[in-house]
Copies of this chain bind each other. A is one copy, B any other.
């Protein structure tokens, strides 16, 4: 059976018994209240695949086996596949109001599929077949794969091999007949502690001097030598308070971790790039393009929830008929749909790769993400504009239980227009969560930096923008002879 149930997934993650530290302590199990919501978010990817209503989006047909698989393990075989991916991501964002983490692995696997094929074509290596072997396991067992790309980088003005400490980028420290040993760290890993496998890729283009850093491989998440240190999020400990209101989003959340690779052995069968530094940048580019469009799905799903919460709150306040309120909601929708449109068109303008998979459109992918680095922040600002000061001043749910008159008075004063305090406060806390709480790590910080910083997108837009062709258009209109003005 290629589709796991959510419960099977939960159990399989528990069984991995990953070594995870959180706030200085080793966690006993992943049911830890700060970790659990992120596992639960991934769980929704399993739920949707079981739900006939969402089957078309949430499942696909494997090009390897012809079986029905979870779309999160699929290599896109058509433009329509690409388009459905974006719609699935938006749906997931709507259902979780969080980063649900499984898309990075999806984008990574599609990138490895194309890049290993290209490396083999040039270097007569056998990475592509190794990749397919790995992919088959993922598809057959419906597994989650983490995509580990970003290194700590140290001094960013220097390349990997010139850092004072050679480990600031992950690299090969040993090669032998059985495989390689790697050392380093991958920072800010989304979905590290809820994945079965980790796929490691280089973080940037590499020159010849950096060959040892041009390494890609897959490895089980509980491989010896791998340790996870959980990153803090704004408001993370609210999840440990026990209530269901102040936490804002009590079911779902994202997670980020540092993955430390302390001399980890990887057998050759799992190695997918090993010194072919020419393809380090190429792999990064393919992955970045895919992933930059993913945000035009998932973040817009979250935006849908935030717009819904904001709109609901104006109803609670009795301001929903005011023209400026309606106008700001229009603006929020407009900004969200602009991002979504960019994501969609990057798919529909995509093209077939020689390996049979489909790539997204490079220029439009970067345009999509650059909008994501701007518009969710503005949507959040508009949300707080409409929600009001309560987002920063509302007492705790525990205050509502103050014995005697004070608790009663507080509830009375927190009431809205024909609405009890609880609905109003739940709505406030959700807005707080997405705009400045744990959800903001996904909706604000990750919208800016996920899949590369804004400047990375600008660099790529510049490369893709083909100014020469545009200059020729201008010459034709203006009557400028090209030979004259050429330098």
Contact = CB atoms under 8 A, between A and B. Distances in A.
A157 interface: yes
A329 B463 CA distance: 11
Interface in A85-135: 94-97
Contacts of A481: 423
A364 to B, nearest CB: 6
Main secondary structure of the interface of A (DSSP, over half): helix
B392 A446 contact: yes
Nearest to A301: B473
A35 interface: no
A21 interface: yes
A315 B338 CA distance: 33
From A257, A394, A436, name the one whose CB has the most chain B CB atoms within 10 angstroms.
A436
B83 A467 contact: no
B345 A341 contact: yes
Given A324-B458, A406-B227, A478-B430, A304 B342 contact: no
A479 B426 contact: yes
B396 A24 contact: yes
A318 B157 contact: yes
Given A157-B319, A410-B258, A437 B234 contact: yes
Given A231-B395, A262-B409, A485-B419, A480 B426 contact: yes
A474 interface: yes
B477 A305 contact: yes
Interface in A393-435: 393-396, 398-399, 401-402, 405-406, 409-410, 412-420, 422-423, 426-427, 429-430, 432, 435
Nearest to A261: B409
A428 to B, nearest CB: 9
28 contacts: A21-B402, A22-B396, A155-B318, A157-B319, A165-B412, A167-B413, A185-B409, A185-B413, A234-B432, A256-B392, A260-B409, A308-B469, A308-B473, A309-B471, A311-B467, A311-B470, A312-B480, A312-B485, A324-B458, A326-B462, A329-B462, A333-B461, A338-B367, A348-B348, A385-B448, A392-B445, A436-B436, A436-B445
